[in-house]
Amino acid sequence: MKNPKNHFKASILSGAHQLGMWNSIGGNTVAELLGGAGYDWVLIDCEHSAIETVEVLPALQALAAVPEVSATARVAGNDPVLIKRMLDMGVQTLMVPFVQSAEEAQAAVDAMRYGPRGIRGMAGMTRATRYGKIKDYYTTAEEDLCLIVQVETVAGMDALEDIANIDGVDAVFIGPSDLSASMGHPGQVNHPEVVAAIENGIERLQAVNVPAGVMALDVDMAKHFMAKGALFTAVGVDLVILAQAVANLREQFD
């Protein structure tokens, strides 16, 4: 058995835009629904949601039923233990939040790689190896692993090229919410200064040939960043969409 091809990684490296959706509601039902909704990628979020690492597995299994969608996941932090567990579950595209320096980016890369290139622990009977069926997994896994580091502070933006140029960083995701707070405009993701900083970040990443990603829940803003060159864009969060739909329905009865 061969290691599954990472279509998300191949697509962004070839310059093909990938449209994404955020999964912050635990369990396999919502993940399965999102997987069949026509998006290119669905991110299972363990940082700003109640989803624990162990709950990623059923979500991955649900998403696997739709070959057209790429399952991705965000760990709670830049922790080699959490990264190891995610990778062993079969996560191929992993987002690491709050990376602010080249050193922190290198730590994430090291956690993604087996020795001698990194520090990822080896285990044979995992979902990643298809329970031992992928015989050459340890020597081929890296080809289809995709590391996205999330840059979301002024310090991170200042070090953007240093972070992006670390060997093993496949893409950079600019986080508007934390960036807005770091810039002194908490919660104002559409503030002109925040938007300008994101645009500048996308342009700088293009200059060093590293795919840039961003979240934009406003449709016009999402299209704007896509036009500027963002190669993977998250345009919705399941819990936000549910809250909006519930509120809109209630308003019909006032």
Domain range for residue 73?
Answer: 7-144+217-251
Q: Decide if 150 is inside a domain.
A: no
The one catalytic residue in 48, 185, 191, 224 is: 48
What is the rounded distance in angstroms from the CA atom of residue 99 to the CA atom of residue 179? 12
The tens digit of pLDDT for each residue in 130-170 reads: 999 998 999 999 999 999 999 999 999 999 999 999 999 99
Average of per-residue pLDDT values in the chain? 97
Q: What is the pLDDT of residue 163?
A: 98
What is the rounded distance in angstroms from the CA atom of residue 177 to the CA atom of residue 159? 18
Q: Decide if 54 is inside a domain.
A: yes
191 catalytically annotated: no
Q: Decide if 236 is inside a domain.
A: yes
Domain count, the chain: 1
Q: Decide if 227 is inside a domain.
A: yes
What is the rounded distance in angstroms from the CA atom of residue 34 to the CA atom of residue 36? 5
The tens digit of pLDDT for each residue in 182-223 reads: 999 999 999 999 999 999 999 999 999 999 999 999 999 999
Q: Decide if 104 is inside a domain.
A: yes
Q: Decide if 208 is inside a domain.
A: no
Are 46 and 67 a contacting pair, CB within 8 Å?
no
**pTM higher than the cut 0.75:** yes
Q: Decide if 201 is inside a domain.
A: no
The tens digit of pLDDT for each residue in 213-254 reads: 999 999 999 999 999 999 999 999 999 999 999 999 999 998
What is the rounded distance in angstroms from the CA atom of residue 140 to the CA atom of residue 204? 31
Q: Decide if 246 is inside a domain.
A: yes
Q: What is the pLDDT of residue 135?
A: 87
| Longest pairwise C-alpha distance within the chain | 64
The tens digit of pLDDT for each residue in 110-133 reads: 999 999 999 999 998 999 999 999
88: domain CATH number is: 3.20.20.60
